[in-house]
């Protein structure tokens, strides 16, 4: 970069910085009124006001301070293994995690046992963010996904702190928004030393924004490594052939209210030709549990409701009784499926364990315009997935799995029935696609692991 181009780049950043401060001052009264309204309505406002104002706990001296910022639950869970790896490979490191939501902080405190400190992210006003920098004193900063706060990022340049963006992507839905504000995002994003994007398409989208190609590196999806590690902890100790000899099991996961009739009708039609077919329904939310039960009752199928009141032991509290409790979990689930047609699961945190039982997985939120949810979890268990026409939230994963012959896209309930019938009739095809799903996930996780090693070498 020539001195002249570097001068103009720095000038752009200064102008953006000044404009951002003026804009914040103008909007401050509106922001204060909004926060007071939330306060008086007894809605969450600050988390910790002290931390939001930048008065966070100071980091430990004589340590290599890595500041990781992940806004909410999904991003928090995605960095579990990264923090563990940093602490293992850099013993003198201090991992300081900030998060943007109360739920995110609670999740971080519960799951990031290797993090040294967890705090709320300060408001992105100049003074709170300046205070946070002076108290944390980061040597490196890692931001997860799309948390683009101008003061946070620009101050890293002022303090000469290397900053990285991890697991970055630009979705189809937000691409035009980024391009319309290209002048802003180009200058801000080029402050990053490296941007690890999820896919080649994301890399192309960042280049369109004017991000230098030498600042971009294809990471893969960090959540692929996370689910692989999560599955490896469980170790899949269960016998695979107890249920498989006599039963085919369908799992519709993260379903929404407008989709229930589709899956119940599918099951009703399939049951005519596949007598030993079972169905597991796992809704995304439980506020419509009564509606679920009423509709299932009307089908006349024998069902079992598994909720917090059910006498099923699923909590794993220690490694000592890990195998015993998991075997108990498997035995109870097996008996429920043997004695019932439909298992309705209205219990938080059970879906990941249920994939191992199914033969075919249906992704919820794809037959109504929600956009779908997680396709990595069924893939890590080696399950073929079927999605409806609305899969925009997980398009990259859906496209990659389809390309790998591990996923089927359907446009309507008629196609859903036809494709499911074909898989149930053709075990070789189903098994082949299932293995493809597992192979794709392992390959994706391997790419992530390799790139995280590269990132960690940057902060040695």
The string of DSSP letters for 300-336 reads: T--EEEEETTS--------STTHHHHHHHHHHHHHHH
* Average pLDDT estimate for 442-449: 94
pLDDT over 80 (residue 45): no
Using DSSP's 3-state secondary structure scheme, residue 41 falls into coil
How confident is the model over 303-307, as a mean pLDDT? Answer: 89
The yes-or-no verdict on residue 429 having pLDDT over 60 is yes
Q: Residue 88 pLDDT more than 90?
A: yes
For 232-443, the fitting CATH number among 3.40.50.720, 2.120.10.80, 3.40.50.2000, 3.30.1300.10 is 3.40.50.2000
Of 318 and 361, the structure prediction assigns the larger pLDDT to 361
Q: Quickly tell me which residue has 């801000």 as its tokens.
A: 188
pLDDT range class, residue 1, cuts 50, 70, 90: low
- pTM greater than 0.75 (yes/no): yes
Average pLDDT, the chain: 88
Q: Alpha-carbon distance 373 to 376, whole Å?
A: 9
Lowest mean pLDDT among 14-18, 184-188, 386-390, 443-447: 184-188
How many other CB atoms are found less than 10 A from the CB of residue 332? Answer: 16
Is the dihedral angle over the CA atoms 69, 71, 75, 81 positive or is it negative?
positive
Q: Is the pLDDT reported for residue 452 higher than 90?
A: yes
Q: What is the full DSSP assignment across 379-408?
A: HHTT-EEEE-S--GGGHHHHHHHHHTT-EE
At 328, the pLDDT band (50, 70, 90 cuts) reads: low
pLDDT at 44: 67
Mean per-residue pLDDT for 224-236? 81
- Give residue 3's pLDDT: 73
Find the length of the chain. Answer: 460
What does the alpha-carbon distance between residue 52 and residue 213 come to, in Å, rounded to a whole number? 35
The residue with tokens 């990659």 is 400
Task: Give the residue with greater pLDDT, 451 vs 337.
Answer: 451
Confidence bin at 315 (pLDDT 50/70/90) = very low
Q: Which of 2-6, 90-94, 335-339 has the highest mean pLDDT?
A: 90-94
**Whether pLDDT at 284 is above 90:** yes
- Number of C-beta neighbours around residue 162 at 10 A: 15
Give the whole-angstrom CA distance, residue 169 versus residue 81. Answer: 20
DSSP 3-state percent helix, strand, coil across the chain (nearest 5)? 55, 15, 30
What pLDDT does residue 404 have? 97
Mean pLDDT: which of 29-33, 97-101, 321-325, 436-440 is highest? 436-440
Instruction: Give the range among 113-117, 184-188, 380-384, 396-400 with minimum mean pLDDT.
Output: 184-188
The structural domains of the chain, with segments of one domain joined by +, span: 1-44, 45-228, 232-443
Res 238 pLDDT > 50: no
What does the pLDDT read at residue 388? Answer: 97
Please give the average per-residue pLDDT across 320-341, as a whole number.
65
Q: Is 45-228's fold the same as 232-443's? A: yes
Task: Name the range with the highest mean pLDDT among 74-78, 113-117, 226-230.
Answer: 113-117
Q: How confident is the model at residue 61 (pLDDT cuts 50, 70, 90)?
A: confident
Q: What is the DSSP letter of 214?
A: G
Across the range 76-91, mean pLDDT stands at 92
pLDDT(317) > 60: no
Q: What is the DSSP letter of 394?
A: G
| 428 band by pLDDT with thresholds 50, 70 and 90 | very high
SS3 115: coil
Q: Supply the pLDDT for residue 319.
A: 32
Q: At what angle do helices 222-234 and 80-89 cross, to 10 degrees?
A: 80
Among the listed ranges 31-45, 83-97, 222-236, 358-372, which one has the minimum average pLDDT value? 31-45
Rounded to an integer, the average pLDDT of 78-99 is 93
Domain 45-228 is in which class? Answer: alpha beta
When pLDDT is cut at 50, 70 and 90, the band that residue 239 belongs to is very low
> Going by C-beta distance under 8 Å and a sequence separation of 6 or more, which residues neighbour residue 451?
196, 217, 218, 219, 220
């Amino acid at each position: 970069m020539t001195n002249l181009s570097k001068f103009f780049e720095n000038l752009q950043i200064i102008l953006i910085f000044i404009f951002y401060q003026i804009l914040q001052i103008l909007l401050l009264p509106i922001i204060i009124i909004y926060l007071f309204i939330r306060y008086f309505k007894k809605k969450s406002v600050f988390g910790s006001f002290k931390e939001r104002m930048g008065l966070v706990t100071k980091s430990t001296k004589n340590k290599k301070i890595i500041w990781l910022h992940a806004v909410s639950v999904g991003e928090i869970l995605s960095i579990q293994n990264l923090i563990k790896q940093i602490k293992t490979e850099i013993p003198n490191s201090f991992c300081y995690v900030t998060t943007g939501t109360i739920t995110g902080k609670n999740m971080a405190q519960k799951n990031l046992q290797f993090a040294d400190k967890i705090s709320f992210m300060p408001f992105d006003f100049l003074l709170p963010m300046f205070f946070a920098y002076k108290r944390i004193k980061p040597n490196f900063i890692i931001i997860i996904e799309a948390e683009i706060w101008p003061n946070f990022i620009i101050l890293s340049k002022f303090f000469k702190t290397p900053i990285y963006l991890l697991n970055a992507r630009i979705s189809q839905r937000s691409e035009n928004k980024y391009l319309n504000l290209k002048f802003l995002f180009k200058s801000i994003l080029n402050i990053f030393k490296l941007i690890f994007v999820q896919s080649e398409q994301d890399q192309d989208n960042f280049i369109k924004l004017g991000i230098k190609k030498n600042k971009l590196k294809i990471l893969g999806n960090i959540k692929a490594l996370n689910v692989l590690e999560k599955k490896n902890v469980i170790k899949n100790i269960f016998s695979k052939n107890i249920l498989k000899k006599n039963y085919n099991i369908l799992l519709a996961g993260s379903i929404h209210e407008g989709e229930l009739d589709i899956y119940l009708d599918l099951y009703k039609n399939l049951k005519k030709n596949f007598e030993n077919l079972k169905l597991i329904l796992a809704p995304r939310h439980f506020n419509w549990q009564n509606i679920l039960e009423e509709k299932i009752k009307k089908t006349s199928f024998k069902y079992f409701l598994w909720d917090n009141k059910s006498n099923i032991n699923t909590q794993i509290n220690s490694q000592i009784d890990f195998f015993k409790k998991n075997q108990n979990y498997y035995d109870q689930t097996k008996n429920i499926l043997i004695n019932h047609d439909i298992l309705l699961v209205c219990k938080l945190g059970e879906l990941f364990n249920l994939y191992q039982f199914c033969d075919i997985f249906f992704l919820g939120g794809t037959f109504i315009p929600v956009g779908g949810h997680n396709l990595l979890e069924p893939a890590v268990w080696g399950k073929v997935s079927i999605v409806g026409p609305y899969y925009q939230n997980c398009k990259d994963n859906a496209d990659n799995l389809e390309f790998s012959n591990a996923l089927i896209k359907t446009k309507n309930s008629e196609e859903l029935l036809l494709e499911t019938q074909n898989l149930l009739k053709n075990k070789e095809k189903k098994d082949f696609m299932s293995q493809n799903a597992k192979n794709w996930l392992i390959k994706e996780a391997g790419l992530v692991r390799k790139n995280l090693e590269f990132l960690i070498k940057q902060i040695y």
